[in-house]
Amino acid sequence: MRNMSSIMKLANQQGIIIPAFNVPYLPMIEPVIRAIVDMDSFCLIESARPEWIKFEAKGPRFVQEEFAKWAKPEYVRLHLDHVPVIDEDHETVDYLPIIQEAIDVGFESVMVDGSRLSLADNIEATRKVAELAHKTGVPVEAELGAVLGHEAGPLPPYEELFESGKGFTDVGEAERFVRESGCDWLSVAVGSIHGAISGAAKDQKKVEARINLDHLQKLHQATGIPLVLHGGSGVQKEYVLAATKKGISKINIGTEIRHAYEQALKDTGSVPKAQDATYDRTCWVIRDYFGINGKRALLVD
């Protein structure tokens, strides 16, 4: 069976997207896996540090223990999402022990987020993680540019952000970053935004974002590695489908299924009903949004 490095490279070559579903609540893991299997697709389940701090996922070991109950590696693998060097509250994070813990308990790929650092410091932090992870064959995702949305304050109007290109990943910096950092995949900023994770805004519907496809293509040509889109929930479908042909191989999906779980739990008070809502929404994302149902064998077998 292929490892995650091989699967991502194959996805990149074939223009097939790998959705990565964030699970801020541990009971979401089972219905997400069930949906992935029933849709005969290949996806990731991922967990990020903000989901342990601001929600109820607790941490890498807890996520892995729940994942292991339902794991089907021919359909789904476990990825460590955002572990920041400087977090959304501008606090310094001791990131290397967190990443080491995730590798030790069985995460098959990891991410370090040094995007709030200078370019040189981001390269250095990512290189440290790459040296650590590559010892056991674990691929590393990094981030360059600013995918906004996790910050505490309100965002500027989306159209203003998109037209100005504020925070977009610089092409020349991306080429240098990949060459010097040792990362295997790169999360780039090309128009998407994160769903809010704090305050009243965390319950609000996300803006329908777009992707600057020309800028994305330049980034892919400059880096030559699989690219990742964070903040994938709510991006207009035609842009997502086009982005898979221009270098995006993994898209993070959080708000879309989190809202389904939270709303059903709020309406019914029932975790099983919230799980059913998560299952239904995950199936919709795979089948109706990405159209990758039935394509698992193209990546894994």
Catalytic residue among 38, 40, 81, 170: 81
Q: What distance in Å separates the CA atoms of residue 199 and residue 210, rounded to the nearest whole number? A: 25
Query: Coil, helix or strand for 130?
Result: helix
Instruction: Look at residue 274 and give its three-state secondary structure.
Output: helix
Distance of alpha carbon 292 from alpha carbon 16, whole angstroms: 8
All residues at 6 or more sequence positions from 70 whose CB lies less than 8 Å from its CB, including other chains: 29, 30, 33, 34
Is 184 among the residues known to form the active site? no
CA separation for the pair 39, 290 (Å, rounded): 11
Cα 67 from Cα 108, distance rounded (Å): 12
Instruction: Please state, in angstroms and rounded to a whole number, the distance separating the CA atoms of residues 251 and 172.
Output: 23
Helix 95-105 vs helix 119-134: angle between axes, to the nearest 10 degrees? 30
Task: Extract the runs of DSSP E, i.e. beta strands, from the chain.
Answer: 18-22, 43-47, 76-80, 109-111, 140-144, 185-188, 227-229, 248-253
Which residues lie closer than 8 Å to 245 by C-beta, 6 or more apart? 15
The values of phi and psi at residue 168, to 5°, are -60, 145
> How far is Cα 24 from Cα 151, in angstroms, rounded to an integer?
17
Give catalytic residue positions: 81
